[in-house]
Amino acid sequence: MSKISSRVRFKVKSSPSYIINLLAKEGVTIRDIEREGSYVIFSVSEAENKKTINILQGYSREYEVTEKSGVVYFARDMLKRIGIWTALIVVFISGCIYSFYSMDIKINGLNRLDSETVHQVIADNSIKFPIAKKDIDIEKLKEDIINLQGVSLCDIRLRGHLIEINILEELPKPSILEITLDKPVVSKYDALVTRVVVLSGTAEVAKGDSVKAGSTLIKPYYTLGDNQDVKVHSGANGYVYGRVWYTKSYIFNDTIVEVKRTDKVQRQVSFQFPFFTVKKNCPFEIYEQENIESIIYCPFPIIINQTTYYQLEKVERAFVFEAEKDAILEKAYSELDALLPPDAQASRKWYIVKTLDKTTVLDIYYEIEQIISD
C-alpha cells in the first residue's frame, strides 16, 4: 500500500468472497486483503471511505475501522495537536530568553547582618526581576555590599537564573569594659535600693535608700587617711539593684467594633511568569487571606500562588468589662512582661479599674527588682 496516499483499513465480520463481491458490485476497490478467523481485513482509499461505510451499514455488516493512514490523516492529527506545538514553541522561545535573564537572588552567609540591609543595597542598584544579565553591574554591587558595616568579603556569581551572593561577615568586636576614672555609676530609674555590689570605687547609697534617675550610686574613687580626706581615683564599677515601678493603662469603650469572618470564601490561583503576572483581584472589601506558594521550572521559574480569601464584616457589640476581665488582665500582664528588662524579678503586681461615662480605665502596676545602675 502506498505510504503517500491516504488509506482506511476495515475489519468486517464476513467471508472474503462475500465482501469482495459486495464492494466490487458497488464500484469500491479494495486492497491488502487478509483473513482473521471469521473476519476479513482490507483497505480502501480515503475517497471511498464514506461509501464503504454506507454499504456495510446498508447490508448490516459488523465492521470496525482499525487504522487511518496517509498524508491527509497525518495533517489532521497534527492540526489537532496545535496546542502542544504552540506550547513547545513557547517553551523553546522562553528558554532562549530565560538563559539571558536572572529571575531570583540567593544570599548566603548572613548571621548577624540584617538581610533587609542587603536587599536595600540590591534595590539601590536597580536590580528588579526579571533582569538581563548584561544589565547587572556585579563589581558595583559587590563594592556596595562590602561597604556595609559588618561585611568583610563578598562574592557574587550568576548561576543559571540565580544571582548568588556569598557574604563573609566581620568577626564581632570583643566586649571591653571601659572604666573612666572620674565617671561615677548613676541610676537610670527612680527606685528604692535593695542591693549594692561594688567592684571599684565607693558606694554612695545603701540598702533602703530612695534614689532619683541620674543620682550617683558609686563614686569613682576611694578615700584614705584618718579624716578620709585623701581621694584615690580608681574608676566606678559595680551593680546596684533596686525596686522599680512600671505602669500601663488601657481604655475601653462601652461599645466595641469587632471584625469577624462570614461564611463566604473565595479561592483563586495566580501565576507569576518572568515577564508578566496572571492574577485576579479579591472580590471582598474586607478580608483575611491564606497563601500557599509553589515554584515550578520549565525551564524558567513560574510562581503559583494559591490564595484563599475569607470575607470579614464589622460587628458592633456591647462591651462588659467584668465579663472579659480575666482575658484582658492576662493579655495586659503579658504585654507589660515584654517591657521588663531580662534581669527583672517581679515582686508585686496589682491593677485598678475606674468606671467613667461610657468608658472603663484599667491601670496595671508592677513592682520589680532589677539592676538600676547604668
pLDDT digits (tens, 9 = 90+) for 316-339: 888 888 888 999 999 988 888 888
Query: Cell 528604692 appears where?
Result: 192
Residue 104's pLDDT is 83
* End position of a domain, from candidates 25, 44, 77: 77
Considering the domain architecture, whether residues 157 and 128 belong to the same structural domain is answered as yes
364 in a structural domain: no
Looking at the fold, whether 234 and 261 belong to one and the same domain comes out as no
Among 169, 196, 227, which residue terminates a domain?
169
Cα of first residue to Cα of last residue in the chain, in angstroms, is 102
User: Is 352 among the domain residues?
Assistant: no
If asked whether residues 73 and 112 sit together in one domain, one would say no
**Residue in 96, 97, 146, 89 with CA at minimum distance from that of residue 121:** 146
- In a 3-state reduction of DSSP, which class is residue 97? helix
- What pLDDT sits at residue 371? 92
Q: What is the CATH number of the domain that holds 151?
A: 3.10.20.310
Determine phi and psi for 141, rounding to 5 degrees. Answer: -60, -40
**Entry pTM:** 0.44
Q: What letter does residue 51 receive in the DSSP assignment?
A: H
Whole domain around residue 311: which residue ranges? 255-317
pLDDT of 1: 41
Residues 6+ apart with CB under 8 A from 220: 180, 181, 182, 183, 184, 201, 233, 234, 235, 236
Q: Is residue 370 part of a domain?
A: no
Amino acid at 352: I
Residues 229 and 260 in one domain: no
Partner residues linked to 23 by β-bridges: none
Say if residue 164 is in the same domain as residue 107. Answer: yes
pLDDT for position 164: 92
Low-confidence ranges of the chain (pLDDT < 50): 1-3
Q: Which three cell numbers stand for residue 33?
A: 486483503
Structurally, the chain folds into a number of domains equal to: 4
